[in-house]
A and B are shown apart, each in its own frame.
Chain A
Amino acid sequence: MKTFEEKWTAWLDDQLSGRELSEFEGSLPEKAAAQAEKAEAKKLGELLKRELTARPLTNEEFFSHQLRERIVQKSGEQPRKRARGSSTSSWWTIPRLLWAGTASLAVFLICTILVMRQERPAEESQYLTQILNARVDPVVSPNATVSIFEVKQDRATVLWTEGLQSLPADYAAK
């Protein structure tokens, strides 16, 4: 058994028919006022239908909508990530990684400088000219000898020959 309100709603929506309709309309105390109210309700319904239908979004609105959705998604994800990260690798934050990298490079440079300093004496002799071999013609100067001197103070190398055939002063001509 329908209540009056149910029947009223059904009547406003034109859901009543036949005997049920005539009985309900007969039970109305002021049929003209009820008809006017029904008309108003229909108008209101049409207005609401017209105004509340989904309006297509413009490009800007679409993108800002997408953006907002992504922000909402991310802000939802971050606490979850943080919660996950804290349980596994919270120590390796980006600043700490950067500091660790810098510190490693600094240590490497210091080691390199120390190693280079230790090797400097050997390197200094490498900077000096080196005599690989020397030969005096044994026929021309049978008693000749050669010696090599590295004069580190002057950063020079001297090949010292002894016993070469002496020559007269004329040979000093230009």
Chain B
Amino acid sequence: MEERQQEDFEIIDCHCHIAAEEHTPRSFIEGSIANMTAALTAQGVPVTNRKLMTMFLSKMQDPLCDGLVAEMADAGIVKSILLIADFTYALKDCVLTIEESFHKHREVLARHPGKFEVFGGVDPRWGKDGLALFERSLTEFGFRGLKLYPPCGFSPSDRTLFPYYELCAHYHVPVLLHIGPTSPVLDFTFSSPFLLDEAARLFPSVNFILAHGAVSFVEECTMMCRFRPNVYLDISGFEATLGYDPSAGAIKAITSLGLNHKVLFGTDFPVFRLQGEQKSFVETLMAEDGPLSDLNEREKLLIFNRNAQRLVEKAVAVPA
């Protein structure tokens, strides 16, 4: 007998961001837009970077996440994990300091009880202050994980991160790290999942989630997930494949490998906000003839809820 019916799924989105410019430096967005402009002008479309920027920023006006909460409800997403990527060391045009960004996320957590978890991100080059901020985020702010953005210029196995992983082990919280391409203003050479291997081996009690593992370095990510008990992946970024593969074949492929106890649903909101709402992305995956149609209800439950739930519920930090 199936454990739950599909319509009863309580979906957890493990990969979300606050849609507000203050958390993302202008240079990061400009880099991403430069790629869009290149694609559009090659097709003869009359467009400028400024025009695209205006359009993109119009989708980044939800600093308190009221809009996101409404979209989540519409999509059947009961909880989202907000990730703070720390660009403040690598990119010098950030509006907020990383500490201010943490406080803004704390406000959102308090404003929408039960709707969010937060994984705080700190660039390890901030030294002791950064480490102290991260620990406070667990013990005072109610955050439940660490977010790392290696393309800012560091390896996830860099020794300076080990004190962070020791805190993660102590407080039983997971680490989610960006994998694969990003804004061209950052360093792609640090985006390989294999760079995590040493840390994953040395910190077996810390769980690591390879963000975008269903669409970037897929073979490497699945190998890590299959053979490292503490490594997981999320499927966020699959939206980028829907243009050339509307049936989401990338998701069908990743979920047919017998690894569904390691796969987490994620959307990377608001990155694909020009392409659709949360509901449309969930519907694409849940469609009767969609990429998950061969899975049983237990497997779907793992991907959409239980895997994420399992990783955050062990946290021994303060309640939000």
> Does chain A bind chain B?
no
